[in-house]
C-alpha cells in the first residue's frame, strides 16, 4: 500500500493524491494549478503517473484547484470511474466547462498577440477545450451520500463525510486491506468550520492511522463573522446614501451565494433598505445559485427554516440576475446599487468594467470579501495604489475601499488543530494544500504524530 503526492505539495493549488492498494489505483482529486503564469504552465506537465492506469477518482469538492485537471486526465487516457457527492457532481460540471471556455479564450488571445509579431512561434493549444470537458462527464458514475461506506473493490472501502467548506464538499476515509494488513487513511479535503451560512458544521473526523490534511490557514487565525457583517451593512448603507455604487468582487461559487444570503438577512433584520437594488452580474454565479437551490439536502438547519417558512434563502426584493452582456454594460448608468460580479481577485470577468466606471468616483465603494493574491488588480487596490491600469487605461482610485475578512471558506489554525486532535492520534500526518510557511508553522504544532511535508511526486509506504 502506497500514497504519492502529485499536486498541492508545498502550495495551495493542484490537489492530486494517488493511493495504490492490491494492484488498484485510486486518485483523490485532480486539481488545476492556479496563480502566476509559471505555475499555470505546470498544468501541462505529466501527472507523474499514467492516467490510463487509474481505476477510481474520488472528488472531495468542486473548486477548480481540486477538479480542474479532470478534463486533461480524460484527454490523456483516463477511463476509470469518478465518484463524488451529487452536489459536487453538478458544480464540478459547471466549473470544468467554464474552465474549458477560459482555456480556449486564453489560447485564442495568445495566438492573436503572436500573430502580430515577426517570430510567431508555435501556436498555443488550449490546455483542454469544451469537448474534453464534456467527454470527461461520461466518467462520472454513481454519487454517494455522506457517512455511508462504499466498497470500491476488494480491499478498498471509501466513506465521504461533510467538510463544511462549500456545497457538497467532503473529506474522505479510505479503509485499505492488503494481504492481511489494514490501514485507515483520512483525507481532510478543504475544511470549513462551524456556524457558517448555508452549510452544516463539518462532521467530526473518524479515527485514522494516516491523515492527509490541508493547511491553507495553518499559520493564521481569521476574523469573526459578526463584526464583518456589521461592517458590510454599514459600508453598503453609507455608500448608497450618497448615491454611490457598491462593488463586491466575488467568486461565483459559495461566496456569491453567501453574500446574497447575508443581504437577505440584513433586509429581514431591518439593517438594510428593503428595496436595495442588487445586481448579481455573473452568469456562472447565477447558474451556481440554481444548483444550490436544487441541492437543499446540503443546507444547514437555519437555511431549512428559511425554506420551510416559504422563503427563498437567496431572494431579495431588489435582486436582478444579469446574464446578458448588454444588460451588464448598461449598469454603468446605475446609481445607489450593489453590484456583485466576478472574478474575486479582479483578474478578469465583468467586475473590471464596473471598476473602470466606479473606481474614480469618490461616492462609490469597493468591498473585498475574499482572498487577493499578490500581483492581482484586487491586491493593488487593497494596497492603496492611487491609480490602477484597467483595459489599457489609468483609472484613479477615489472610491472607498473596504476589506472585510470574516468570510473565509477555510478552517483557521485553531480549527485545523481541533480537527486533527479528533482524528485519534494518527501514526503519520501529511501536510498539503498550504504555502510552505503555513504548513511548516502548522507542523511545529503537531506533537503526537509523525509529520511529513511531502514534495511533488514523493511516494510513501502506508
Contact residues for Zn ion, defined by CB under 5 A: 63, 190
Q: Least Å distance between CB 434 and Zn ion?
A: 12
CA-to-CA distance for 451 and 18, rounded, in angstroms? 19
Nearer to Zn ion, 64 or 235 (CB): 64
Smallest Cα–Cα separation from 157: which of 26, 16, 309, 7?
A: 26
Nearer to Zn ion, 63 or 354 (CB): 63
Residue 69 Cα to chain centre, angstroms = 14
Q: Least Å distance between CB 30 and Zn ion?
A: 14
- Report yes or no: 211 and 416 within 8 Å, Cβ to Cβ: no
CA-to-CA distance for 353 and 332, rounded, in angstroms? 8
Nearer to Zn ion, 175 or 190 (CB): 190
Beta strands in 179-274, from DSSP E residues, in sequence order: 181-187, 210-214, 246-249
Q: Torsion angle, CA of 345/347/349/350, rounded to 10 degrees? A: 70
- Report yes or no: 176 and 73 within 8 Å, Cβ to Cβ: no
- Which cell numbers in the block locate residue 381? 487596490
Q: Least Å distance between CB 98 and Zn ion?
A: 16
Q: Least Å distance between CB 12 and Zn ion?
A: 9
Nearer to Zn ion, 187 or 233 (CB): 187
Nearer to Zn ion, 20 or 190 (CB): 190
Q: Least Å distance between CB 134 and Zn ion?
A: 24
For the chain, give the number of residues: 462
Nearer to Zn ion, 128 or 251 (CB): 251
Q: Least Å distance between CB 351 and Zn ion?
A: 21
CA distances to 88, 201, 288, 293, 369 from 313, in Å: 20, 18, 14, 9, 20
Q: Least Å distance between CB 313 and Zn ion?
A: 21
Pairing mode of beta strands 2-5, 459-461: antiparallel
Nearer to Zn ion, 63 or 93 (CB): 63
Q: Least Å distance between CB 413 and Zn ion?
A: 17
Nearer to Zn ion, 190 or 281 (CB): 190
The CA-based angle 144-283-66, given to 5 degrees, is: 40
- Which cell numbers in the block locate residue 124? 498555443
CA-to-CA distance for 216 and 15, rounded, in angstroms? 12
The CA-based angle 360-364-365, given to 5 degrees, is: 105
Q: Least Å distance between CB 247 and Zn ion?
A: 24
* Cis status of the peptide bond prior to 343, with omega within 30 of 0: yes
Nearer to Zn ion, 85 or 245 (CB): 85
- Which cell numbers in the block locate residue 140? 462520472
Smallest Cα–Cα separation from 24: which of 146, 170, 158?
A: 158
Amino acid at each position: 500500500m502506497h500514497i504519492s503526492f502529485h499536486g498541492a505539495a508545498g502550495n495551495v493549488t493542484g490537489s492530486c493524491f494517488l493511493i495504490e492498494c492490491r494492484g488498484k489505483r485510486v486518485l483523490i482529486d485532480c486539481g488545476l494549478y492556479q496563480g502566476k503564469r509559471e505555475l499555470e504552465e505546470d498544468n501541462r506537465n505529466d501527472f507523474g503517473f499514467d492516467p490510463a492506469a487509474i481505476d477510481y477518482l474520488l472528488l472531495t469538492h468542486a473548486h477548480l484547484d481540486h477538479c480542474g485537471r479532470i478534463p486533461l486526465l480524460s484527454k490523456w487516457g483516463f477511463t476509470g470511474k469518478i465518484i463524488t457527492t451529487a452536489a459536487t457532481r453538478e458544480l464540478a460540471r459547471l466549473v470544468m466547462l467554464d474552465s474549458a471556455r477560459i482555456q480556449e479564450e486564453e489560447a485564442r488571445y495568445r495566438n492573436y498577440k503572436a500573430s502580430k509579431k515577426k517570430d510567431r512561434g508555435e501556436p498555443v493549444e488550449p490546455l483542454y477545450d469544451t469537448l474534453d470537458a464534456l467527454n470527461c462527464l461520461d466518467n462520472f458514475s454513481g454519487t454517494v451520500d455522506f457517512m455511508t461506506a462504499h466498497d470500491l473493490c476488494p480491499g478498498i472501502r471509501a466513506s465521504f463525510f461533510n467538510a463544511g467548506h462549500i456545497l457538497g464538499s467532503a473529506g474522505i476515509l479510505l479503509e485499505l486491506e492488503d494481504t492481511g494488513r489494514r490501514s485507515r487513511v483520512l483525507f481532510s479535503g478543504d475544511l470549513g468550520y462551524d456556524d457558517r451560512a448555508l452549510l452544516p458544521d463539518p462532521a467530526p473526523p473518524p479515527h485514522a492511522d494516516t491523515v492527509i490534511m490541508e493547511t491553507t490557514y495553518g499559520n493564521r487565525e481569521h476574523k469573526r463573522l459578526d463584526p464583518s457583517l456589521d461592517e458590510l451593512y454599514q459600508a453598503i448603507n453609507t455608500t448608497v446614501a450618497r448615491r454611490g455604487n457598491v462593488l463586491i468582487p466575488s467568486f461565483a461559487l459559495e461566496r456569491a451565494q453567501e453574500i446574497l444570503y447575508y443581504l437577505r438577512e440584513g433586509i429581514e433584520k431591518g439593517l438594510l433598505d428593503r428595496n436595495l437594488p442588487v445586481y448579481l452580474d455573473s452568469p456562472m454565479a447565477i447558474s451556481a445559485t440554481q444548483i444550490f437551490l436544487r441541492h437543499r439536502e446540503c443546507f444547514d438547519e437555519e437555511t431549512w427554516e428559511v425554506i420551510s417558512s416559504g422563503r427563498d434563502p437567496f431572494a431579495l426584493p431588489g435582486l436582478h440576475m444579469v446574464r446578458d452582456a448588454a444588460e451588464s454594460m448598461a449598469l454603468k448608468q446605475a446609481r445607489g446599487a450593489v453590484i456583485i460580479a466576478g472574478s474575486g481577485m479582479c483578474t478578469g470577468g465583468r467586475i473590471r468594467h464596473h471598476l473602470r466606471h466606479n473606481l474614480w468616483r469618490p461616492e462609490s465603494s469597493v468591498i473585498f470579501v475574499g482572498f487577493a493574491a499578490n500581483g492581482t488588480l484586487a491586491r493593488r487596490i487593497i494596497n492603496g495604489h492611487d491609480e490602477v491600469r484597467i483595459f489599457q487605461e489609468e483609472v484613479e482610485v477615489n472610491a472607498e475601499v473596504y476589506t472585510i475578512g470574516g468570510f473565509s471558506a477555510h478552517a483557521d489554525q485553531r480549527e485545523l488543530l481541533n480537527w486533527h486532535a479528533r482524528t485519534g492520534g494518527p501514526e503519520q500526518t501529511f501536510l498539503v494544500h498550504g504555502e510552505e510557511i503555513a504548513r511548516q508553522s502548522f507542523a511545529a504544532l503537531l506533537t503526537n504524530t509523525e509529520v511529513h511535508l511531502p514534495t511533488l511526486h514523493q511516494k510513501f509506504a502506508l
